């Protein structure tokens, strides 16, 4: 009985190739090009190291890294310029040949203009995606033990759980998403497109009243309504003596050029202003120090 001849399989899609020669590796030019791209290109989105690498149990239904392409597809925007795809056939990913070439170049290099594209997809400003200095976050994390990053893009999250702009942090419950016994950290978008700092401060007070400790990183400006509300509701306002160097949203490199000072504002259950004015390198006020000591003892 003669043995049946073995049929070669495509090295990319594993499709049988009975009509191809023995030396053929791919079933066609499409698979050959796709296999070549997978060998030469880097990751599709810029990946950033997080303070907590364990993202298990996150309440946000997203991957641990933010796929820029997936965000643009979900919002029906061009992958090259983030404009809305209106009046084009189904399945179109780019609005022009120029954008297709641009996306091909980004895929090969693995370097995407992440902040610009995500900001357009989420309706915020690119500067709203600048990241918190890791040294400052580490100092605060040692005292408060954060479990939720309330204003994150996903791949730059500083905690094991996070909320992205598409989840709308101003309308969801932070307390339900934060682990028991942990605090929430908020470095909110500063522009009005991100909701406005007054809305973020009011949301933090609401979550504080529900029993969740919230620590915010915002700019000080006594002439604004949100700062006046901070002085009435917060336990302390800790201003920086120098301007902080926030991390660039695309490269993750600390970048000078911050236009003003920054302040740390803790909203703690059981403590309500008038806020004590201190600096970042000063000891915590007696009220906050007593609250931290009671929490550690518990």
Any domain includes 136: yes
What is the mean pLDDT of the segment spanning 182-211? Answer: 94
For residue 137, is pLDDT > 50? yes
Q: Does position 5 have pLDDT exceeding 80, yes or no?
A: no
Helix (H, G, I), strand (E, B) or coil at 32: helix
- Tell me, yes or no, whether 188 and 230 share the same domain: yes
Q: Is residue 83 part of a domain?
A: yes
Does the pLDDT value for residue 65 go beyond 60?
no
Range of the domain at 246: 128-297
Please report which confidence band the pLDDT of residue 57 belongs to, taking 50, 70 and 90 as the band edges: very low
| pLDDT tens-digit readout, 76-135 | 888 888 888 876 676 788 888 898 898 888 888 877 888 889 898 888 999 999 999 999
Residues 6+ apart with CB under 8 A from 204: 186, 214, 216, 265, 267
What is the overall mean pLDDT for the chain? 83
pLDDT at 29: 76
Q: What is residue 52's predicted lDDT score, i.e. its pLDDT?
A: 40
Residue 49 has pLDDT above 70, yes or no: no
Mind listing the pLDDT tens digit for each residue in 223-264?
A: 999 999 999 999 999 999 889 999 988 888 888 878 889 999
pLDDT at 46 over 80: no
197 and 293 assigned to the same domain? yes
- 289 and 156 in a single domain? The answer is yes
- What domain count does the chain have? 2
Whether residues 97 and 154 fall in one domain = no
Clarify whether residues 141 and 278 are in a common domain: yes
Residue with the larger pLDDT of the pair 285 and 34: 285
Q: Is the Cβ–Cβ distance between 43 and 53 less than 8 Å?
A: no
Task: Let me know whether 77 and 219 are in one domain.
Answer: no
Whether 247 is in a domain gets the answer: yes
Specify whether the CB–CB gap between 162 and 127 falls below 8 A. Answer: no
Q: Which of 60, 77, 112 is the last residue of a domain?
A: 112
* Within a domain: 289: yes
At 73, is the pLDDT very low, low, confident or very high (cuts 50, 70, 90)?
confident
The pTM of this model reads 0.73
State how far the Cα of 241 lies from the Cα of 43, in Å rounded to an integer: 39
Do 150 and 216 reside in the same domain of the chain? yes
**What tokens were used for 141?**
């994390």
For residues 57-63, average pLDDT: 36
The angle formed by the CA atoms of residues 124, 189 and 178, to the nearest 5 degrees, is 115
* Band of pLDDT at residue 43, cut at 50, 70 and 90: very low
Are the beta carbons of 128 and 193 closer than 8 angstroms?
yes
Residue 32 has pLDDT above 80, yes or no: no
- 217 pLDDT exceeds 80? yes
Q: Work out the pLDDT band at 66, boundaries 50, 70, 90.
A: low
Residues in the chain: 298
Ordered strands of the 214-218 beta sheet: 161-162, 146-149, 183-186, 214-218, 263-267, 236-239, 276-279
Q: What is the pLDDT of residue 136?
A: 94
Res 61 pLDDT > 80: no
Report if residue 41 sits inside a domain.
no
Percent of the chain with pLDDT over 70: 86
What per-residue confidence (pLDDT) applies to 48? 38
- Per-residue pLDDT averaged across 155-178, rounded? 91
């Amino acid at each position: 009985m003669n043995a049946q001849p073995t049929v070669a399989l495509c090295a990319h899609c594993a499709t049988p190739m009975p009509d191809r020669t023995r030396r053929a590796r791919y079933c066609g030019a499409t698979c050959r090009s796709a296999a070549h791209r997978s060998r030469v290109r880097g990751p599709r989105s810029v990946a950033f190291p997080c303070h907590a690498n364990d993202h298990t149990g996150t309440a946000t239904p997203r991957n641990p890294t933010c796929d820029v392409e997936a965000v643009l597809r979900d919002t029906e925007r061009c992958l090259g310029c983030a404009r809305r795809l209106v009046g084009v056939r189904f399945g179109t990913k780019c609005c022009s040949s120029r954008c297709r070439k641009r996306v091909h170049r980004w895929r090969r290099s693995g370097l995407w203009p992440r902040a610009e594209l995500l900001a357009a997809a989420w309706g915020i400003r690119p500067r709203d995606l600048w990241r918190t200095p890791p040294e400052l976050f580490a100092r605060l994390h040692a005292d408060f033990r954060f479990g939720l990053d309330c204003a994150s893009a996903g791949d730059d999250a500083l905690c094991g759980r996070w909320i992205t702009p598409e989840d709308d942090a101003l309308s969801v419950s932070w307390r339900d998403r934060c682990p028991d016994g942990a605090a929430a950290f908020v470095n909110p978008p500063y522009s009005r497109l991100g909701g406005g700092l007054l809305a973020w401060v009011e949301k933090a007070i609401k979550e504080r009243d529900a029993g969740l400790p919230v620590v915010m990183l915002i700019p000080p400006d006594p002439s604004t309504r949100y700062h006046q509300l901070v002085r009435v509701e917060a336990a302390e306002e800790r201003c920086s003596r120098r301007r902080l160097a926030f991390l660039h949203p695309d490269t993750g490199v600390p970048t000078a050029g911050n236009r003003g000072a920054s302040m740390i504002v803790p909203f703690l259950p059981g403590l309500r202003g008038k806020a004590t004015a201190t600096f970042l390198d000063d000891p915590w006020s007696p009220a906050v120090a007593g609250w931290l000591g009671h929490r550690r003892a518990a």
